[in-house]
Structure 1
Amino acid sequence: MASSQFFILAIVAILVPSILAKEFVVGDQKGWTINFDYQDWAIGKEFHVGDKLVFKYPKGVHNVLAVNGSSFQKCVAPAGTQPLTSGNDVITLATPGIKWYICSVPNHCQVGNQRLIIIVEPSPASAPSPN
């Protein structure tokens, strides 16, 4: 009996995070483009481990790079980093913490404000329960 209860709990622990995960289209209807305030877009949204960011843009016009804080501030791609370029890029938020994203097409980040910074919280399913 105890082993069947453990099995059910294990299945629930596996399924709950994926059920609770949300998908965010970055920029909503505007998508990933220049001259849009992505920090304003992110205000009020809660991002958790397991959620997905979807970057939609015309293929060949923009790209998406996950960068560190220094590269974000400077709007530069770290050496050897390959951007996502499909025009429908999906990034699953795998770990908690601060995440930075830019477009590395010249002047899109610097002049066009095509950059996003978010804070990813632990999955609600993995958060400690109150006593």
Structure 2
Amino acid sequence: MAMKILSIPVLVVVLASTVLQSTHATNYTVGDTTGWNARTNGNTDFYNNWAANKNFLVGDILVFNFATGSHTVTEVTEADYNNCNSNNPILVQNTGPASIVLNRTGAYHFICSVPGHCTAGQKLSVQVRNGPGSTAPTPGSSPNAPLTPGSGPGGSPSSASSLVAVVSLAIMSITLVLVC
């Protein structure tokens, strides 16, 4: 009997730590209160300065706040980023706010494709690395897809981590039933 009483709190602690550890992802609001816009007061490095002190990890989410119709979030190659060229986009989000899951390691380059906005400084480049609970990119994996929270596969900040949490919860629940 004492073994059953001791096992329950231990299982609860293990379960809680597993769930908390496996769902680690950070939402970053690009530009903080400034949002995603071309009004950077002539500071063409505004967004890169904003990103400079941040540690972006696989699974994190960039939230670009803007009014639909006034801006875009266009992911481009480094060369297109440097030239403010949106003719060969990797991803385009026209509806604000736009959420982008950083689903691979490496550099991401975003610009606004509204004429004049990128050259005015509405552009962001971030470097993403692996972190706790993240996985290495899969060769041939698809580029970023738009994120709508709760929209199914890929619709949560860290779908793989959420799956781990659900499986852990199921195993812990079965163990509790068997022990009790």
If the TM-score is normalised by the length of the shorter chain, which range does it land in? 0.7 to 0.9
Q: Which structure 2 residues correspond to residues 1-131 of structure 1 after superposition, within 5 A?
A: 12=18, 16-17=21-22, 19-36=23-40, 37-79=46-88, 83-110=92-119, 112-126=120-134
Aligned residues: 115
Q: Secondary structure at the match of 2:33?
A: helix
Would the alpha carbon gap of residues 126 and 55 (structure 1) be closer, same or farther in structure 2, given more than 3 Å must change? closer
Please say which structure displays the higher CA radius of gyration: 2
Cα distance change of structure 1 residues 85 and 23 upon mapping to structure 2, 3 Å threshold: same
Quote how far apart the aligned CAs of 1:81 are: 5.3
Question: Does the CA contact (< 8 Å) of 2:112 and 2:122 recur in 1?
Answer: yes
TM-score, normalised via structure 1 length: 0.79
SS in 1 for 2:85: coil
1:125 alignment partner AA: G
Q: Distance in 1 between matches of 2:28 and 2:85?
A: 24
Following superposition, which runs of at least 4 residues in structure 1 exceed 4 angstroms of deviation? none
TM-score normalised to structure 2 length: 0.58
> Structure 1 CA distance, aligned partners of 2:90 and 2:53?
30
For 1:61 and 1:80, the matched residues in 2 are separated by 18
- CA 1:100–1:81 in structure 2 vs 1: closer, same or farther (change >3 Å)? closer
How much identity, in percent, do the aligned residues show? Answer: 34
Q: Which runs of 5+ in 1 are unaligned?
A: 1-7
Give the RMSD, CA atoms, in angstroms.
Answer: 2.2
Deviations 1:53-97 (A, max 9, x none): 000101100000111100000101133655201111000000000
Offset of 1:43 from its aligned partner? Answer: 1.5
* Structure 2 residue identity aligned to 1:113: G
- Name stretches of at least 5 consecutive residues in structure 2 with no aligned partner: 1-13, 41-45, 136-180
